[in-house]
Amino acid sequence: PAPLSAAMVAQPQAGSDERFAHSVGEHFEAFLENYSSEVPEGMDTSAADEPAPRDYIDQCNEMKSNERNTLYVDFSHVQDHNTELADAIEADFHYLEPFLRQALKNLMKREHEEYATDDKDFWVCFFNMPTQLNIRDLKTAKIARLMSFAGTVTRTSEVRPELIEGVFMCETCGTNSDPVPQQFKYTQPVKCKNPSCPNTSLWALRTGPGEAKFVDWQRVRVQENASEIPAGSMPRTLDVILRGEQVERAKAGDKCIFTGTLIVIPDVRQISGLPGERLPPRRGGGR
Ligand SMILES: [Zn+2]
Residue 276 lies in a domain: yes
Q: Give the rounded percent of residues in the chain with a pLDDT score beyond 90.
A: 65
Asked if the model's pLDDT at residue 278 lies above 50, the reply is no
Q: Which string of b and e fits 207-233 if b means at least 16 CB within 10 Å?
A: eeeebbbbbbbbbbbbbbbeebbeeee
Distance 188 CA to ligand 1 centre (A): 13
CATH of the domain at 56: 3.30.1640.10
9 CB neighbour count, 10 Å cutoff: 22
Same domain, 63 and 166: no
* Ligand 1 mean position, distance from CA 96 (Å): 33
For residue 1, tell me if it sits in a domain.
no
Examine the fold and report which residue of 127, 145, 168 is the final residue of a domain before the chain moves on. Answer: 127
Q: What is the dihedral of CA 193, 197, 202, 205, to 10 degrees?
A: -30
CA of 206 to the centre of ligand 1 (A): 14
Q: Answer whether residue 7 shows pLDDT above 70.
A: no
Higher pLDDT, 175 or 13: 175
Q: What is the pLDDT of residues 181-239, one digit of tens each?
A: 887 788 999 999 999 999 999 999 998 887 898 999 999 999 999 888 989 999 999 99
118-129 burial by CB neighbour count: b if 16+ within 10 A, else e? Answer: eeeebbbebebb
What percentage of residues in the chain have a pLDDT greater than 70? Answer: 83
Q: Is residue 29 part of a domain?
A: yes
The residue-averaged pLDDT of 264-284 equals 49
- Is 111 in the same domain as 169? no
CA of 187 to the centre of ligand 1 (A): 17
Q: Is residue 97 part of a domain?
A: yes
193/100 same-domain check: no
- Domain housing 33: 6-127
Residue 9 has pLDDT above 60, yes or no: no
Residue 111 lies in a domain: yes
SS3 82: coil
Q: 190 CA distance to ligand 1 centroid (A)?
A: 11
Same-domain check for residues 242 and 275: yes
Same domain, 108 and 27: yes
Pick the last residue of a domain from 127, 153, 179: 127
Cβ contacts of 172 within 8 Å, gap of 6 or more: 192, 197, 198, 199, 202
Ligand 1 centroid–CA 119 distance in Å is: 26
Residue 147 lies in a domain: yes
160 and 250, same domain (yes or no): yes
* 242 has pLDDT over 50: yes
Tell me: do 162 and 285 sit in the same domain. Answer: yes
Does 166 share its domain with 207?
A: yes
* CA 192 to ligand 1 centroid distance, Å: 5
CA of 200 to the centre of ligand 1 (A): 8
Cα 169 to ligand 1 centre (Å): 8
CA of 167 to the centre of ligand 1 (A): 13
Grade residue 271 by pLDDT with cuts at 50, 70 and 90. Answer: very low
Q: Ligand 1 centre and the CA of 197: distance in Å?
A: 5
| C-alpha 140 – ligand 1 centre gap (Å) | 41
| Closest to 97 in 3D by CA, of 244, 257, 238 | 244
* Mean predicted confidence (pLDDT) in 17-22: 89
Flag whether 74 is in a domain: yes
The per-residue pLDDT for 159 is: 96
Return the CA Rg of the chain: 21
Tell me the pLDDT band of 13, cut-offs 50, 70 and 90: low
Same domain membership, residue 279 and residue 168: yes
CA neighbor of 126 nearest in space, from 104, 143, 105: 104
Expressed in angstroms and rounded, the spacing between residue 272 Cα and the centre of ligand 1 is 24
Given 127, 150, 180, which residue is the final one in a domain?
127
What's the chain's average pLDDT? 86
Looking at the structure, do residues 237 and 212 belong to the same domain, yes or no? yes
Distance (Å) from CA 178 to ligand 1 centroid: 12
* Same domain assignment for residues 137 and 190: yes
CATH number at residue 224: 2.40.50.140
Between CA 215 and CA 107 the distance in angstroms is: 21
Ligand 1 center from residue 186 Cα (angstroms): 19
Average pLDDT over residues 95-109: 96
pLDDT over 90 (residue 42): no
Residues 275 and 158 in one domain: yes
What is the band of 8 on the pLDDT scale with cuts at 50, 70, 90?
very low
**DSSP code per residue over 250-280:** --TT-EEEEEE-B-PPPS-TTTT--GGGSSP
Asked whether residue 99 is domain-assigned, the answer is yes
Domain count for the chain = 2
pLDDT interval class at 272 (50, 70, 90): very low
Residue 141: what pLDDT?
62
